Structure 1
Amino acid sequence: MPFRWDYRQHVSLAWFVLKWLAICLPVGIFVGSGVAFFLWSLHVVTLTQWDHPWLLYLLPVAGIASGLMYHYLGPEAEGGNNLIMEQIHEPGGGVPLKMAPLVLIGTLITHLFGGSAGREGTAVQMGGSLAGGLGRLLKLSPDEMRILLSAGVAAGFGAVFGTPLTGAIFAVEVIAIGRMSYRAIIPCLMASVIGDQVNTAWGIGHTHYHIAFEAAITSNMSAVSLDWALTAKVAIAAIFFGLASVLFAELTHGVSWTAKRLIPIPWLRPAVGGCVVIALVWILGTRDYLGLGVSSHPPEAERICIESCFYAGGAGWLSWWWKLLFTAVTVGSGFKGGEVTPLFFIGAALGSVLGVAMGAPVDLMAGLGFVAVFAGATNTPLACTIMAIELFGPGHGTLLSSGLVVYAAVACFLSYFLSGSSSIYHAQKRDEEPREETQTPETD
């Protein structure tokens, strides 16, 4: 057997790691700090909106202001997450540095006046924008710029949710379905971990979700053990999770397409969307579906939110649909913000009602819906399975012994598979084989 070790290869690999550590360190610091400021500001404007509910009636005016800001100050940044993906696929004009402040201000406007949106899109765009600016300063090659933009995405995602491993996997999985760049995984992991640690160092915390089901069975089991009846229920629920992700993606794209066709003036589209959101609040007589929807205010208030979905009766039968509709109108009409946190709400609410209907643990099903609808809408089942571990696993004993990671994998991968070609990101490429192949028997 020939001796194949070549020290030069290891020197080259070590140089690669050290080089990208030096590059990702400032990326993680700047992005982590930027996300910390964003999350603090978001908390402030959310409390302001809760304490001054009349601000909702200014949402159409806020939409005009946000639209005019982009129209005059940064039309080239309008592409958002899709622009970053396009630049990773084929580096060209680059991601403008002004995208970071624009999306930050635009998202704060959305939440201050009651729009239903998330925060992931803002963090990812801030990460991509800051990374792109550093790449131009360092005069990186196109291949290096691709890696750096992915690292910026990872830093933003990992910091905003407190899930550094998920951030790294998401950044390489979301770009092209069926193909992951393992060359970029180390820079993405470094940037995501640094970004998350810097965000934490600024004193910014994250919401913790507790699945009592997992903790109850880990004390009695030391190896992976599945309840096959429960596994079947998870698989059935995954069908609904996948369909909900399709509905969200297609309805959001449909609202956007309709608004562009019927309203030729871009900055008027969010004004109309704001009027629709106000009308929905009037019709339903509730504000539960405005904003992020992570928690209720005050905490003891009996409002539907992500946290309430982990308890039996904490979500109405159509809560998932109403949050889906509010968010599709808000984001589709042009307001800034992300889609992921609303997807968490939609999935948790749907999982909660499915748990009640099928006699399954409500907190488990809410947690699985939380990650599985996200997996179907973004075509990132691996990242979402890892997210289940990072969000629900720590502090609850041996994760694998509970089978939670297996249930999460079943829910996420089936939801992804059954969501078909739908995605909230139209710039996402598909490089995998068809999910369903029909073979015609050969005839003699």
Structure 2
Amino acid sequence: MKEKSGIKIVKESGIFYGAILIVALTTGTISHFLLTGLTWVGNFRDSHFYLLYLLPVLGIITAYSYQTYGKGADKGNNLIIESIQKEAPVPVRMGFFTFFFTIFSHLFGASVGREGSAVQIGGVISNRLGLKLKLNKKKRKLLVHAGISAGFASIFGTPLAGAFFGMEMAYIGKIERNALLSCFMAAYLGDFTAQLWGTTHTHHYITELTSITPRLLFAFVLASILFGLAGRLFAYLTHHAKKIYRKFFSNYLIRAFITAGIVVVLMTILNGQKYEGLSLWMMDDAFTGVATAKEGLFKLFFTSLSLGAGFQGGEVTPLFDIGSALGSGIASFFHLTPSLFAAIGMICVFGCAANAPLTTIMLGIDLFGSKMLPFYVVSAFISYFISGHQGIYTSQLIIRPKSTLLAHHIGHRLSELPKVGVSNEN
């Protein structure tokens, strides 16, 4: 009897880790082709400026497709989170929708990211495979964590951060330690697979500090606070843009057309075409001290409007842009070397908006090495605390609040806070 039981355990483990392998290889492959597609359409858009004026048409097509055929796919990453928390069903079509509509959103000039598609695709594949293989509830949940890790790691080339993101994404104040091995395996295999296909990533470097002065420390603490406020503002504007749009335009097709039109008009009036798509130039400029805080705020504004209008892609790359430009601007104001502040802003504005402080620290190590680790740690937790209970993923469940003043939020999702009559303030 014991021998049969042992064979069964070995067999189940083999099936489970085989599933992780499939999820990682598939997600890494799709991430490569997504990145290749985004590069191509970005270059094409830059030489065909008139495509921006077709954005309202894409808005209608996107809204109609998700409303008519989406089966809840419009919830995006929040649906993946809910599949972990309460086994919410995830339609397979969600993977196809997010891949193609992300490509189209970039082609026509929406100011959006790319990680949302990769994470959703990893979540879709892992959800479906877990059901097909008839894995038990616990292993299906771990497999979804792994799918998230594979998507994040392969799209950014950051396996260490990807592993932690898969464990940290679904909750505030909790890391899913049971998924440690699954997430690490999926993250490194997913990233390796993307690289095998030929995926490459741009690297930025932090100039070594010659001395630590009171001015540097003051600027660093101030910057960390501002990074937390920027992440909070981004999440607030994005979610409230959607609410305001729904309030004023009840017909979803009219709403899609008008809100996309708002993006087009404002980009035209404010010469905001350079904020279309990923705007990777902002990070390059930030590390050389050319980018300004004003540019970061413009990117925040246009991305919030684009996501609020329903365009697909994600938030993380725009958050990298916003944080690095803000960091560069702060460093320039204090006459300090910009690269350290650009790097910290890049990881921390994302980290506090995603409510993922450990991922933030690991992202710093992945992207810039471990020499500046103390700066990553301190800034990550300052900005995390300052950001309060706001975030880009409204399905996140609060397990441990960011301060004792927010203890009454425990057990609620971010989306539920206004409904239960509690404050979002620190």
- TM-score exceeds 0.5: yes
Relative to 1, partners in 2 of residues 1:183 and 1:17: Cα closer, same or farther, differing over 3 Å? farther
Whole-angstrom CA distance in 1 between matches of 2:205 and 2:159: 19
Partner of 1:385: 361
Q: 2:324 aligns to what SS in structure 1?
A: helix
Query: Do 2:16 and 2:135's aligned partners in 1 also have CA atoms closer than 8 Å?
Result: no
Which one of 308, 313, 318 corresponds to residue 337 of structure 1? 313
Contact 2:172 2:398 in 1 (8 A): yes
Question: Share of identical aligned residues, percent?
Answer: 37
CA distance in 1, matches of 2:326, 2:316: 15
Pick from 21, 28, 46 the counterpart of residue 24 of structure 2. 28
Q: Does 1:371 align with 2:347?
A: yes
Counterpart in the other structure of 2:274: 288
Work out the CA distance in 2 between the residues paired with 1:112 and 1:423. 27
Cα distance in 2 between the residues matched to 1:438 and 1:424:
18
Q: Is the 8 A contact 1:66 1:109 kept in 2?
A: no
Contact 1:66–1:267 (CA<8 Å) still a contact in 2? no
1:288-367 maps to which residues of 2 (within 5 A)?
Answer: 288-295=274-281, 305-312=282-289, 314-367=290-343
Q: Counterpart of 2:386 in structure 1: which amino acid?
A: L
Please state which structure has a larger fraction of its residues in helix: 2
Letter in 2 for 1:351: G
Indicate yes or no: 2:35 matched with 1:67: no
Separation (CA, whole Å) in 1 of partners of 2:11 and 2:181: 13
Task: Please name the residue that 2:180 is paired with.
Answer: 185
Structure 2 residue aligned with 1:144: 139
Q: How far apart, in 2, do the equivalents of 1:190 and 1:265 lie? A: 45
How far, CA to CA, are the matches of 2:272 and 2:43 in structure 1? 17
Q: Which residue of 1 aligns with 2:44?
A: 48
Which whole-Å CA distance do the structure 1 matches of 2:45 and 2:381 have between them?
37
Residue of 167, 172, 185 corresponding to 1:172: 167
Equivalence for 1:205? 200
Separation in structure 1 between the aligned mates of residue 96 and residue 399 of structure 2, nearest angstrom: 33
Distance in 1 separating the partners of 2:154 and 2:10 = 26
- Per-residue CA distance 1:321-342 (angstroms, 9 max, x = gap): 1101100000011111100100
For residues 176-208 of structure 1, the C-alpha deviation after alignment (integer angstroms, 9 at most, x for no partner) is: 111111111111111111111111111111121
Q: Do the aligned partners of residues 50 and 367 (structure 1) sit closer, same or farther apart at CA in structure 2, a change above 3 Å counting?
A: same
Q: Using the TM superposition, give the Cα deviation of residue 230 of structure 1 relative to its aligned residue in structure 2, in angstroms.
A: 2.5
Instruction: Give the Å deviation of 1:149.
Output: 0.9
Query: Deviating runs (4+, > 6 A) in structure 1?
Result: 10-17
Q: Is the 8 A contact 1:154 1:188 kept in 2?
A: yes
- Give the alignment partner of residue 274 of structure 1, picking from 253, 260, 278: 260
Normalised TM-score (structure 1) = 0.86
Question: Matches of 1:268 and 1:38 in 2, distance apart?
Answer: 30
Tell me what 2:420 maps to. none
**Contact kept? 1:375, 1:413, Cα under 8 Å:** no
The residue aligned with 2:220 is 234
Pair 1:113–1:438, CA change in 2 (3 A): closer
Instruction: Tell me, yes or no, if the aligned pair for 1:234 and 1:410 is still in contact at 8 Å.
Output: no
Structure 1 position 406 matched with structure 2 position 392: no
Give 2:412's aligned residue.
Answer: none
Residue 79 in structure 1 maps to residue 72 in structure 2: no
Measure the CA separation in 2 of the matches of 1:438 and 1:432: 9
Cα distance in 2 for partners of 1:23, 1:266 equals 39
Q: CA deviation at 1:316?
A: 3.1
CA 1:28–1:259 in structure 2 vs 1: closer, same or farther (change >3 Å)? same
Q: Which structure 2 residues correspond to residues 126-137 of structure 1 after superposition, within 5 A?
A: 126-137=121-132
In 1, Cα distance between equivalents of 2:233 and 2:21: 39
2:233 corresponds to which of 240, 243, 247: 247
Kept after mapping to 1: 8 A contact 2:361/2:377:
yes
Counterpart Cα distance in 1 of 2:174 and 2:341? 29
Letter in 2 for 1:240: L
Task: Report the counterpart of residue 415 of structure 2 in structure 1.
Answer: none
Letter of the 1:392 partner, please give it.
F
3-state SS of paired residue (2:75): coil
- Report the Cα distance in structure 1 between the residues aligned to 2:39 and 2:136, rounded to whole angstroms: 38
Compute the RMSD of aligned alpha carbons: 2.2
Instruction: Please say which structure displays the higher CA radius of gyration.
Output: 1
Partner of 1:300: none
* Secondary structure of 2:275 counterpart: coil
In 2, the alpha carbon distance for the partners of 1:210 and 1:335 equals 32
CA contact (8 A) 1:77 1:96 kept: yes
Deviation at 1:268, TM superposition (A): 3.4
Partner deviation per Cα, 1:110-165 (whole Å, 9 max, x = no partner) = 10000000001011001101111111111122222111111111100000000011
1:82 maps to amino acid: N
